[in-house]
Structure 1
Amino acid sequence: MKLSLKMKIKPLRTNKMFMLEKTLIDFKNAVNDWIDISWNDGKITDRKLHSYGYKELREKYPNLYSNSLQDAMNWAIQILRSSIKLNPNKKPIFNTLMVSYKSVDYKYENEGLIIPLCGKRVFIPLYIPKKYKKYLQNGTFGRLVIKKEGNDYYAYLSIKVEEKEPYKPTLWFGVDLGVYNLVVVADSKGREILRFDGEIVKEYKKKLEKYRARIQSRQKRNFNKYTKVGNKISNYSKYINHVISKEIVKKAKQYNAGIVLEKLKGLKKSKLNKSKPKNIRKALHIWSYADLIKKIKYKAKLEGVPVVEISPRNTSKTCSRCGYVNRRLKNERIFVCPKCGLEIDRDLNASINIAKKVASKQA
């Protein structure tokens, strides 16, 4: 499977920093030049664009590595294709300070990268997280992107690693997603394994609405300042999803369990029904459940943890003890079974049912 490793670049000496900055600026300008050439010659969005401008841009950017100039064209084509679909009359502008390299263009050694900058091969040292080292030692390297984010520089390295063979689970974990409880995990035997409180979503919603109100009330000159705040807020949900997904996969491996997830399409239909209060539906729309599901599946694949997706239909309305479906259930937080008398937290009940859906078939 393919991974994307993000590693921060260590502080550089003045001459190295100058070469890196110049390369990033040249790449950005080259992308915009390719966009201009395409726009002026009939909006060319395929490889034919190369013959219209490569020679001219090769002379304009003599210090930009040849494969990077080619990559700048590829980026321009992707940007144009996306932009033309949205607004065919508005020429896009590329503002990201970055540069792209193919696997043959760079070399990884001594916890750093040797990359072409301004006609020279330059060593760029990296801060490498401990968890990445095994991938860097055994993986197959792909594309490298160097990008400036704020005042820092990062290397985004695509790398292919071998997938672990999924083990045969002796237990199944059901994962229920919601707002009152963001995530509740229970096993097929009815035991609660993990619970992440829904206050996370409510806090995120408050921050997002406060940020939007600021943007609307401020003048344009302050926009960049608040855009940075907005980026931090959006990164917050991704970070929380990372923590949750990591813990779920860790627990599954510890118990030799498989993970049962709700299919996102069915999840939206079941969770966003009109019977729910408006504020709950709004919070569900805001939080990125797709990102959370993606992270769980991604981390599980790395660890060899089996994952199954099912329809969430009636998982919260079915009694996890006797199987009776209480179709009259609305927004009550406690599930009460009219048949067997079971009283149980609604989300815990749902997560048990999710686990049992697969466990019963595997028995």
Structure 2
Amino acid sequence: MIIYEFKVKGKDRQYCAIDEAIRTSQFIQNKCLRYWMDNKNVGRYDLNKYCAVLAAEFPFANELNSMARQSAAERSWGAISRFYDNCKNKDLSKKGFPKFKKNCRSVEYKSTGWKLSVTRKAITFSDKKGIGTLKLKGTYDLNYYNIKQIKRVRLVRRADGYYAQFAVDVDAKVEAQPTQQVVGIDLGLKYFIADSKGNVEPAPKFYRKSEKALNRANRKKSKKFSAAKKKAKIRQSNNYHKARNRYARKHLKVSRQRKEYCKRLAYSVIQSNDLVAYEDLNVKGLVKNRHLAKSISDAGWYTFRQWLEYFGHKYGKVTVAIPPHNTSQNCSNCGEKVKKSLSTRTHVCPHCNYVADRDINASINILKLGLSTVGHTGIYATGDLPSWAVGKSLSSNGESVNVESPN
């Protein structure tokens, strides 16, 4: 399954119709969640049947395509099933009880409710929301695929416009020649990655470089905000919404820079090696450190891991996630534990006099653990599904790890 994304062009009334469809999808999703909370033994098919009840009760819900309503119900069931799985795993952390959605940004259609033009450069939505025909702007060519291979179509709203995503059922695997190379990767803040061969890649720090402009745009937005209007539940001024959109566009640019950097670096690593061992970092727990939260979020470690696993699956390379415990403390030469603080950037072993950069030493330990794991378990070191497998279905925020840009 691969995802192709196009920017859509239309008129203002069509954009308003897309917004209305997104609000309706959010309404159905929340209603299905409430139905599950108020009734016992509610399953996935019960939520699908409940969509017909909502369509009969609310005229605006009936205007949305029937399969789009079912897709909204499936989103609710996805959150419910994840909650059930977390409860069965007996994890001590939060179980992730499903929450009501406040700001959905997408609506998803299945096999009906839309039709591509003959040239496949435009798409027409035929439900009663009045979206109509939208032009598709992009470099991909959908003529290579049969219409039956397109399993989902999603309309996504972002700060810089509206996009259409096509989920195409096709085998994305590509045969690649073996390189007879293996590598271990240590993720860090000073260096984004340091590998076991001694190579380092400096951290780009996209957010830090744009922080001054972001703060300036945020101040301009705040000056146009009226607390009195919010208290009276009156819509903010047009100037406020324009400033908010400019601020959101700057954040979107930083996010795209980080994603493109992680994708290109992951592609380079996969093409150069047959086996890649990397740290199985708990990023969600690491960002709780208030001193390093901003730098960790700016690094984009999890995004890099997603692309690494996706490209590994696509090109038939082995990717192994290794628990990061003591990889920086242990000596890669003799194996003895050498305690050091986070500020100590050089590994000096008093037992064997081995001296190396802290991150290089950790990457060698990661490679050793990765090689010891391969051939014994036959699965990913974390025991969970890899990110590429989870990303086969489109995520609820309109992003997907399978989206490849033409550049």
TM over 0.5: yes
Q: SS at the partner of 1:264?
A: coil
Match of 1:22 in 2: 17
Shift of the 286–197 alpha-carbon distance from structure 1 to 2, 3 Å rule, reads closer
- Residue 53 of structure 1 deviates from its aligned partner by 3.0
Listed as ranges, the matches of 1:93-242 within 5 Å are 96=104, 98-108=106-116, 110-117=119-126, 123-130=133-140, 140-150=149-159, 152-164=161-173, 170-186=180-196, 190-192=197-199, 194-197=200-203, 199-200=205-206, 203=209, 219-220=226-227, 221=236, 225-226=243-244, 229=247, 232-233=250-251, 236-237=254-255, 239-242=257-260
**Unaligned 5+ residue runs, structure 2?**
84-95, 228-235, 376-407
Match of 1:246 in 2: 264
Structure ranking higher in helix proportion = 1
- Residue 105 of structure 1 deviates from its aligned partner by 3.8
Tell which structure's C-alpha radius of gyration is larger.
Answer: 1
Shift of the 151–117 alpha-carbon distance from structure 1 to 2, 3 Å rule, reads farther
Maintained 8 Å contact 2:113/2:127: no
Match of 1:264 in 2: 281
- Residue 30 of structure 1 deviates from its aligned partner by 6.5
Match of 1:67 in 2: 67
- Residue 291 of structure 1 deviates from its aligned partner by 2.8
Of 274, 288, 291 in structure 2, the residue corresponding to residue 279 of structure 1 is 291
Q: SS at the partner of 2:291?
A: helix
- Alpha-carbon distance between aligned partners in 1 of 2:106 and 2:255, rounded to the nearest angstrom: 25
Listed as ranges, the matches of 1:250-329 within 5 Å are 250-253=268-271, 255-265=272-282, 279-280=291-292, 283-284=295-296, 287-320=299-332, 322-329=333-340
Q: What root-mean-square deviation, in Å, do the aligned CA atoms of Structure 1 and Structure 2 show? A: 4.7
- Residue 359 of structure 1 deviates from its aligned partner by 4.2
Q: SS at the partner of 1:261?
A: strand
Amino acid at match of 2:6: M
Shift of the 76–355 alpha-carbon distance from structure 1 to 2, 3 Å rule, reads closer
**Unaligned 5+ residue runs, structure 1?**
none
Amino acid at match of 1:154: Y
TM-score, normalisation: structure 2: 0.64
Maintained 8 Å contact 2:55/2:62: no
Match of 2:89 in 1: none
Q: SS at the partner of 1:279?
A: coil
- Residue 72 of structure 1 deviates from its aligned partner by 5.1
TM-score, normalisation: structure 1: 0.70
Shift of the 136–272 alpha-carbon distance from structure 1 to 2, 3 Å rule, reads same
- Residue 102 of structure 1 deviates from its aligned partner by 0.8
- Alpha-carbon distance between aligned partners in 1 of 2:346 and 2:2, rounded to the nearest angstrom: 41
Maintained 8 Å contact 1:27/1:72: no
- Alpha-carbon distance between aligned partners in 1 of 2:35 and 2:339, rounded to the nearest angstrom: 63
State the aligned residue count.
Answer: 340
Match of 2:400 in 1: none
Name the stretch that deviates more: 309-318 or 352-361. Answer: 352-361
